[in-house]
Amino acid sequence: MLHFILRRLVLIVPVLFGLTALVFAIARLLPGDPVALAAGPNATPAEIAAYGKEFGLDRPLIVQYGAYLSGLMKGDFGVSIYTRRPVIEDLRAYLPATLELVFAAMFLAIAIGIPAGLAAAAWRDKWPDYLSRVVALGSISMPRFFLGLLLQLLFAMWLGWLPLGGRFPITEDPPALVTGFLTLDALIARDFTAFSIACQHLVMPAIAMSLSPLATIMRMMRASTLEVMQQDYVLTERALGLSSRLIMLKYVSRNAISATLTVIGLYFGWLLGGTVLVETIFDWPGLGLYATKAVVTQDFMPVIGVTLVIGTLFVFANFAVDLLYGVINPKVRTE
């Protein structure tokens, strides 16, 4: 198992190095002059040149990349041209909000999608299967930004059950910062009022983000379960008189979930990179909203930082999926 983990970790290094080179080159070669935009409309050419020299933008691109890579090794993601704040400080402030939203969305998708997929396969061509098809089709077809607006209109504007947006009311004191996840921090502080408020703000954006992965996980789990149910060992277990529930929960689900793990790992990375619309609609202070503001001002250092963080998390999410493969199927460890 240790050799399996080390082999996967070694493969991560060239992936991350290639990601840094690609993102840095694309960000610097895009049209526009972020220095002139940050300096202001009344800045003279000399002031713009001095501003660019201050951030090292007058040097060749390869030299800039070397300096940036050297800074990354020390945990330095550069400085925002527009705000002059270190990017690492902004990432530390915004990343927990995005991760909390993505984890909540994936929890809903997995907790509902896997049992629903098993039920659809167990009752194939019956009402649970037909219901899962309708839910999956509707979830895939519904754009997240449109669903978010519908949720706001129904639960915030018409019914008044949930807050319209934001992560925590400015009129309330948030729990003490420990993990950056407001729900967990509230539980750690045993502040159940703050926990309830945080959940109320979290539920609508989490639902808006969860439906698409939920539909995919559900359909993938159904297809994998039906395939496993046709295997000889399952037919043998039925012939031996084992109960259908025991066969489904102990033998079929364990083997059927392997293919679904791939989808879960891919969707985790996809949700990290796809939070922009949902965070903008719900005014959720995460990486998506932060990146949107940086793109509008052509502030490429935050954009590079956000992309690298999302790419790194995506790589390690797939690494975690590889480890789960090894736990579920020991044959994978020897490949």
Q: Domain count for the chain, please give it.
A: 1
By C-alpha distance, which of 133, 110, 111, 112 is closest to 121? 133
Contact 166, 282 (CB under 8 A): yes
Backbone angles phi, psi at 79, to 5 degrees: -125, 140
Q: Is residue 41 part of a domain?
A: no
Asked if the structure places residue 22 within a domain, the reply is no
Residue 59, in any domain of the structure: no
Residue 334 lies in a domain: no
Q: Is 16 helix (H, G, I), strand (E, B) or coil?
A: helix
For residue 236, give its domain range: 100-298
E strands present in 74-224: none
Residue 21: inside a domain: no
Beta strands in 251-323 (DSSP E): none
Q: Which residues contact 96 (CB under 8 A, 6 or more apart)?
A: 179, 180, 181
Who contacts 289 (Cβ-Cβ below 8 Å, separation ≥6)? 94, 276, 279, 280, 283
* pTM attached to this predicted model: 0.81
Residue 316 CA, chain-centre distance (Å), reads: 12
Residue 210 is part of a domain; what is its CATH number? Answer: 1.10.3720.10
Q: Are 221 and 227 in contact (CB under 8 A)?
A: no
What tens-digit pLDDT sequence spans the chain (335 residues)? 666 667 767 777 787 778 788 877 777 776 666 666 666 666 677 766 776 676 676 677 788 778 888 888 888 888 887 778 888 988 888 899 999 999 999 999 999 988 888 888 888 888 888 888 888 887 777 788 788 888 889 898 898 888 888 888 888 888 888 888 889 999 998 888 889 999 999 999 999 888 888 888 888 888 888 887 777 777 777 777 777 777 777 667 777 777 787 788 778 877 887 788 888 888 888 888 888 888 777 777 888 888 888 888 888 877 777 777 666 665 555 55
